[in-house]
Amino acid sequence: MPGAFSRSPSNASFAGRPSPAKPSLGSNLNRRPGGGGKWIDGQHIPAPRNDKMEIDLFGEPGDPLNSSTGINFEKYAAIPVEAKGHGVPDPITEFTNPPIDPHLIENIRFARYTTPTPVQKYSVPIVGSGRDLMACAQTGSGKTGGFLFPILSACFSNGPSQVQPPNPPKYGGTKVYPTALILAPTRELVNQIHEEAKKFAYRSWVKPAVVYGGAPSGEQMRQLDRGCDLLSAAPGRLCDFIDRGKISLANVKYLVLDEADRMLDMGFEPQIRKIVQGCDMPTVHDRQTLLFSATFPREIQMLARDFLKDEVFLSVGRVGSTSENITQTVEWAEDFEKKSVLLDILEGHMEPDGNNRTLIFVETKRMADILCDFLLQNSLRATAIHGDRDQREREYALSTFKKGTNPMMVATAVAARGLDIPHVSLVVNYDLPSDIDDYVHRIGRTGRAGNTGHAISFFNQNNLNIVRSLSEILKEAKQEIPDWFAGCMQQASVFGGRGRGRGGSRGGRGMSSRGGGMSSGGFGSPFRRTNGSGWDNSSGNSSFSHDSPAYWIQK
């Protein structure tokens, strides 16, 4: 495989934009739904095995590239876990029956998972015992399985909930009544969750489906017509389909908010309230609600209580902490020198097998394009993902990055949360975010599932607002703290920049990051925040609102 530096003039011509041979938009909709089995007379009848589908879902057996687990996977077991609430059930230690349904265990084996991660060990019995859950665990530590496993296990054992009387949608076709609803903030993440759901629902009666904006509604409607028991959705398109009478939430037994702190901050909260409280979803007492994230600002924890009952609070490690599998480095770089520093880093990072990927975060969509073009001009195979690109371009960028055709991707916050891309060995914060929780999610694109990774952040006087909280994060993760941080912290406090650090509990849910900290207080360039960077909430309001202190609230 040629190295990322290999000269490739044809690449420069499409600058990471779609080629004629692009995959079709939302191509995961075209494949057969993951289920295929049936529930007849109180019995689960799984569909016969299908070799082609197994390769599609789980990859070639024995291919080491299909194993995402890294050398430090075992170390997850050493992370301290705290579970608060009354009568919390004991965690499981293995994927065994009971309590896990045997059909799910088989699918977990197909996925080559041998041991549950800590969040899975706890979530399976907690959700299995009917409790609500707010779970916080580090990036890349298996939260998706943490909500899919107990839901699917219960579905496989208990069958479908009672189907509501037919009430045809306004525009023909069938109306669907999912049993489980999973909401997530970006189209790409919603898609990824759907892909995972298809794996673990393989051969079962559960039909996973997905809806998100930017892709044609017609195709998604036709997919829904083929059945929908577990729906992964972005809020904007879901509201649209509910309004059109295509989806009813009346049968929802399980509601999941993935990246829950993001889903409940100001950008999404009105839509979430509409979906959860303003439609026909069962009340909090008649459904189970599961909230998952790696970060949970205090004010969002408070807000989350509106959606929970008798919940268990689970924290694997400290809320908002980073994985020790990620080596974090901070380099001083003035804006004018960032490009050349980046080139030096990329050159030094290339490995002979050419299999590693680099994700570079910037704050604006414009900068993402500029930097991507700069890399292409320097004969680097790069692509860009941000909210101004249409969905086809976004899907294409992500797929070429995953395949390694473009082993570098410049991204805005749209790719900061949840995305699980194998072989990302380096994350560069070309522009640091102004919110420490955004930093945690961004660097969490590397060092996943026990793999090691490296995160390098460019820092200059425009980032003083984050210096204190960044220093705490580095210290906690036993990372080197640059000598010059002390001076920066002093400077930040002189100018009133308490920053958005942990413990600086300024409260004030919905405080815009633009208004906080050192936004432009005499340190040169004002903050540049990504706005409208591709969060899929169709309202277009994507300003970041959560203030960052992420101490766990003692109940």
Ligand X SMILES: Nc1ncnc2c1ncn2[C@@H]1O[C@H](COP(=O)(O)OP(=O)(O)OP(=O)(O)O)[C@@H](O)[C@H]1O
Smallest gap from residue 69 Cβ to ligand X (A): 4
Beta strands in 85-165 (DSSP E): 133-137
Smallest gap from residue 66 Cβ to ligand X (A): 10
Placement of tokens 């045809």 in the chain: 168
What is the rounded CA–CA span in Å between residue 396 and residue 406?
Answer: 10
Smallest gap from residue 448 Cβ to ligand X (A): 5
Choice between 231 and 449, CB closer to ligand X: 449
Phi/psi of residue 288, each to 5°?
A: -105, 135
Smallest gap from residue 445 Cβ to ligand X (A): 7
Choice between 79 and 371, CB closer to ligand X: 79
Helix crossing, 143-158 with 187-200: angle to 10°?
50
What is the rounded CA–CA span in Å between residue 131 and residue 123?
Answer: 10
HEC string of 329-385 equals EEEECCHHHHHHHHHHHHHHHCCCCCCCEEEEECCCHHHHHHHHHHHHHCCCCEEEE
Name the DSSP class of 186: S
Choice between 131 and 143, CB closer to ligand X: 143
What is the rounded CA–CA span in Å between residue 186 and residue 445?
Answer: 15
Half-sphere exposure of 209 (CA within 13 A, CB side): 24
Q: Which residues pair with 315 in a beta bridge?
A: 82, 136
Choice between 73 and 430, CB closer to ligand X: 73
For 275, the token pair is 């979906």
Choice between 365 and 417, CB closer to ligand X: 417
Choice between 66 and 329, CB closer to ligand X: 66
Smallest gap from residue 395 Cβ to ligand X (A): 18
Choice between 16 and 150, CB closer to ligand X: 150
Closest listed residue to residue 124, CA positions, set 157, 155, 100, 96: 100
Smallest gap from residue 441 Cβ to ligand X (A): 7
Smallest gap from residue 206 Cβ to ligand X (A): 18
Choice between 69 and 531, CB closer to ligand X: 69
What is the rounded CA–CA span in Å between residue 332 and residue 365?
Answer: 23
Smallest gap from residue 229 Cβ to ligand X (A): 21
Smallest gap from residue 34 Cβ to ligand X (A): 15
Choice between 199 and 468, CB closer to ligand X: 199
Choice between 113 and 296, CB closer to ligand X: 113
Beta strands in 353-478 (DSSP E): 357-361, 382-385, 408-411, 424-429, 453-459
Smallest gap from residue 63 Cβ to ligand X (A): 15
Cβ neighbours of residue 25 closer than 8 Å, sequence gap 6 or more: 215, 216, 391, 392, 395
Question: Secondary structure of the chain: what % helix, strand, coil (to 5)?
Answer: 35, 15, 50
230-233 and 180-183 beta bridge pairing: parallel
What is the rounded CA–CA span in Å between residue 261 and residue 387?
Answer: 20
What is the rounded CA–CA span in Å between residue 120 and residue 122?
Answer: 5
Choice between 109 and 305, CB closer to ligand X: 109
Contacting residues toward ligand X, per CB under 6 A: 68-69, 113, 115-117, 120, 137, 139-145, 294, 418, 420, 444, 448-449
Smallest gap from residue 120 Cβ to ligand X (A): 6
312-316 and 81-84 beta bridge pairing: antiparallel
